[in-house]
Structure 1
Amino acid sequence: MVNVHALIVAAGQGFRAGGDVPKQYQLVGGQMLLRHAIEGLLAHPAIDAVTVVINPADRLLYDAAVAGLALPEPVAGGPTRQVSVRNGLEALAGTPPALVLVHDAARAFLPSAVIDGLLAALAIPANDGAVPALAVIDSLRRGNDHYDAAVDRDGLWRVQTPQAFRYTPLLAAHRNAPDGATDELAIAMAAGLRVAITPGDERAFKVTGPQDFAKAAAMIVIPLTSRTASGFDVHRFGPGDHVWLCGVQIPHSHGLVGHSDADAGLHALTDALLGTISAGDIGDHFPPSDPRWKGAASDIFLAHAAKFVREAGGVIDHVDVTLICERPKVGPHRLTMRERIAAILEIPVAQVSVKATTTELLGFTGRSEGIAAQAIASVRLPA
């Protein structure tokens, strides 16, 4: 039996927030705002189920937001918040819960203590509902171009969600309410229900405008762990008048032989980045037997590895490439190489190091038979 059912209202368009999709489907910390709201409610041990009210036109976005979550079928919303909530409440009538929490998807970062306060208030039989709020602490004044009169702030509250009620009286109040109510508190008060004030929280703020997304992102604390991996690559000299090293074309008496452009520096770095997420090596992703990569620019490979790291939730902290050769001279091109790698990885140049060394005329590099490169990458990944 479901005793506590949370109803998330997510049918609005959120035009004031900007963006190409409704705000509840915009990303915050790599995850849709709606999913943050759902997971916050699901994490509370007293909540038995969560149902979302959506705009049917946004069904594909909704499906992406809730992928992997075991939720009831979403409910189709209406043209106003009031209609959407009523639709949600009616959808629960077949198996009515004892309590219902009506929550806005835009208040996605709800501390569990707010829910605790609501449920404690509803444990008192005299209360039909409970709504979290924050006391108004700033001075209030009326006026247009100039201040006119003071407003007494005593007893004034900034109302938040979720708004919690005993299900049956709230459904009855909704069925009898005229249009125009802005929230469940207004409907409940009009119906004569007794609603307790419980502690709200600044973290349960409502994402409304574009600036609020930065505020929301700053609230997300994801435990990260550091990983480091290395890469190594070799290419021999062959016919040609230039070589590619770290994404930069350098004139030379010979070229480098390889299936792609034979950029040993970027190949080594690609392997290093793939190693940080245990995703194999460059040959697994771009087999030399595949004709698509014949003569390909190696920045494709490096960008691919960086994309894999980001999709794993990783942040690239620093990369370091050492080129091992007698010639060509790397020094005159080092800054350009660093800038090119930084552009491919979409990180600051300060986080890219390129060095060069020789083997003192020893070995195949000392005999100018080819170029070797080794690389190290450091990334932060979710723990």
Structure 2
Amino acid sequence: MKFPAPPPAKIAIVVVAAGRGSRAGDGAPKQYRQVAGLTVLAHSLNALGRAAPDAIIAPVIHADDFDLYSEAIAGLDPAARGQLTAPVWGGATRQDSVRAGLEALAADPTNRPNIVLIHDAARIFASETLIMRAIEAAREYGAAIPGIAVTDTIKEIDVEACIAATPPRARLRAVQTPQAFDFSLILDAHRKAAAAGAADLTDDAAIAEWAGHRVFVFKGDADNMKITSAEDLAAAEGRLIRDLADIRTGQGYDVHAFGAGDHIWLGGVEMSHDHGLVGHSDADVLSHAVTDALLGALADGDIGSHFPPSDPQWRGAASKIFLAAAAARVRARGGMIAHIDATVVCERPKIGPHRDAIRASLAAIVGVSLDRVAVKATTSERLGFTGREEGIAAFAIATVRLPL
């Protein structure tokens, strides 16, 4: 008798991103640091989404980091964003945070998985091959972790820093994430460890071992590095940029006439003025120029082809919508925005006092660090329509990096 194949296992990935990352140096927690145009967390979530497109992804974050998290996921591939559950608040320790993520999945019948992978946000290079090995190992063994062979000789030392033992390298493995489990097995192990006050277990494999389960070690991936220090951040950015070898430049130009009003928008910043700018949207001439520069670098039409002025839905719209959409198209191609250089041409208002705010606004809209955005201003020496104060012009050049 031929039996039907069992239904595919429902997979969830708990992404632990609640730590403070103090070893990465001063600044935001390492998972929110920029690396090659995106945050570490965004890179990690994108990689997991590509490797396991049918999985549910449950991020566990610090309760103080919701704004940082919201900014980070704005830079995600749309498909990966669609896999996310609502963020779960982490606890005081990694163990507490993982348990919070597991409990959130258990409490939601629609998301409760058969198999769960538990992954550190600081590992941004998880490959499809590694994720598939993890899922298969969890399905076969119930509890499994990736490990790579140790090439250095390891010494155990005593309290006086003298060698106490030399373990044989052949039996040693450096452990990575994602660690993979039958969901009910690891949830039960976490609950028992919490109830018993076993709080010094350093990873989920240790929790499964403590609960009496054998844990299989499957082949890890040497490229699956963990970002811990500032040096790791630099190394990760170097790896990402090397993979983006198709370097392109696009230019953008826009102009809007002055009309009635008491303010204008430039680069997403509202500025008081004795006139407004006339346009179908909010007439943010600078954002329009940058949008066209990004689309030009992609050879992907212009702002009018994506957001036609004949469409009433864009009447009065904030131009940051157009700019964010152009930036998302770069990311959807697997690329990054390397630099934006823009120039505003007008006699008034004076741009200098607002320059830093405009740079910060553009950087936030397109999802890059501030040092990747330059804004300059000049007059036309009273020549032409800008010299007669009839309007404002803006020029922009965008450099993007795409995979070959």
The TM-score by the shorter chain falls in which range? 0.5 to 0.7
Check conservation: 2:251, 2:398, Cα contact below 8 A: yes
Check conservation: 2:17, 2:41, Cα contact below 8 A: yes
TM-score of the pair, normalised by structure 2: 0.60
Instruction: Rate the CA distance shift 1:31–1:312 in 2: closer, same or farther, 3 A.
Output: closer
Matched, 1:3 2:19: no
Check conservation: 1:4, 1:46, Cα contact below 8 A: no
Matched, 1:44 2:51: yes
Matched, 1:292 2:292: no
Once the 2 structures are TM-superposed, how far is the Cα of residue 189 of structure 1 from its aligned partner? 0.8
Cα deviations by residue, 1:165-223 (Å, 9 ceiling, x for unpaired): 00001101111012111111001111122321111112211111111101111221225
Matched, 1:24 2:31: yes
Q: 2:248: which partner in 1?
A: 226
Instruction: Rate the CA distance shift 1:146–1:114 in 2: closer, same or farther, 3 A.
Output: same
Q: 2:225: which partner in 1?
A: 205
Once the 2 structures are TM-superposed, how far is the Cα of residue 45 of structure 1 from its aligned partner? 3.8
Matched, 1:182 2:202: yes
Report the AA paired with residue 108 of structure 1: I
Q: 1:86 aligns with which of 95, 99, 108?
A: 99
Q: 1:320: which partner in 2?
A: none
Instruction: Rate the CA distance shift 1:166–1:20 in 2: closer, same or farther, 3 A.
Output: same
Of the structure 1 ranges 31-40 and 193-202, higher mean CA displacement relative to structure 2 is found in 193-202
Cα deviations by residue, 1:315-343 (Å, 9 ceiling, x for unpaired): xxxxxxxxxxxxxxxxxxxxxxxxxxxx9
Report the AA paired with residue 222 of structure 1: L
1:359-374 pair list within 5 angstroms: none
Matched, 1:134 2:151: no
> What SS is found at the alignment partner of 2:98?
helix
Q: 1:361: which partner in 2?
A: none
Q: 2:384: which partner in 1?
A: none
Once the 2 structures are TM-superposed, how far is the Cα of residue 379 of structure 1 from its aligned partner? 4.7
Report the AA paired with residue 36 of structure 2: G
> What SS is found at the alignment partner of 2:181?
strand
Instruction: Rate the CA distance shift 1:380–1:287 in 2: closer, same or farther, 3 A.
Output: closer
Matched, 1:193 2:213: yes
The aligned length equals 285
Distance 1:229 1:46 in 2: 35
Identical residues among aligned pairs (%): 34
Report the AA paired with residue 224 of structure 1: D
Report the AA paired with residue 30 of structure 1: G
Check conservation: 1:2, 1:48, Cα contact below 8 A: no
Cα deviations by residue, 1:109-139 (Å, 9 ceiling, x for unpaired): 1122111211222332xx1111000111212
Report the AA paired with residue 88 of structure 1: G
> What SS is found at the alignment partner of 1:8?
strand
Report the AA paired with residue 232 of structure 2: D
Matched, 1:62 2:69: yes
Higher-Rg structure is 1
Q: 2:116: which partner in 1?
A: 100
Check conservation: 1:5, 1:99, Cα contact below 8 A: yes
Instruction: Rate the CA distance shift 1:90–1:146 in 2: closer, same or farther, 3 A.
Output: closer
> What SS is found at the alignment partner of 2:212?
coil
Once the 2 structures are TM-superposed, how far is the Cα of residue 311 of structure 1 from its aligned partner? 5.2
Instruction: Rate the CA distance shift 1:201–1:74 in 2: closer, same or farther, 3 A.
Output: same
> What SS is found at the alignment partner of 1:140?
coil
Report the AA paired with residue 175 of structure 1: R
Q: 2:319: which partner in 1?
A: none
Instruction: Rate the CA distance shift 1:170–1:147 in 2: closer, same or farther, 3 A.
Output: closer
Report the AA paired with residue 105 of structure 2: L
Check conservation: 1:312, 1:381, Cα contact below 8 A: no
Instruction: Rate the CA distance shift 1:93–1:223 in 2: closer, same or farther, 3 A.
Output: same
> What SS is found at the alignment partner of 1:203?
coil
Distance 2:344 2:170 in 1: 68
Check conservation: 1:2, 1:49, Cα contact below 8 A: no
Q: 1:72: which partner in 2?
A: 85
Of the structure 1 ranges 34-43 and 67-76, higher mean CA displacement relative to structure 2 is found in 67-76
> What SS is found at the alignment partner of 2:155?
strand
Check conservation: 1:6, 1:47, Cα contact below 8 A: no
Q: 1:164: which partner in 2?
A: 180
> What SS is found at the alignment partner of 2:19?
coil
> What SS is found at the alignment partner of 2:125?
coil
Check conservation: 1:128, 1:166, Cα contact below 8 A: yes
Distance 2:222 2:201 in 1: 24
Check conservation: 2:252, 2:291, Cα contact below 8 A: no
Report the AA paired with residue 163 of structure 1: Q
What residue ranges of structure 2 are gaps of 5+ in the alignment? 1-7, 254-288, 297-301, 304-341, 369-373, 377-396
Please tell me the root mean square deviation across aligned C-alpha atoms, in Å. 4.3
What residue ranges of structure 1 are gaps of 5+ in the alignment? 232-271, 314-342, 346-376
Q: 1:349: which partner in 2?
A: none
Check conservation: 1:10, 1:104, Cα contact below 8 A: yes
Matched, 1:33 2:47: no
Once the 2 structures are TM-superposed, how far is the Cα of residue 378 of structure 1 from its aligned partner? 9.5
Distance 2:398 2:53 in 1: 41
> What SS is found at the alignment partner of 1:217?
helix
Report the AA paired with residue 34 of structure 2: L
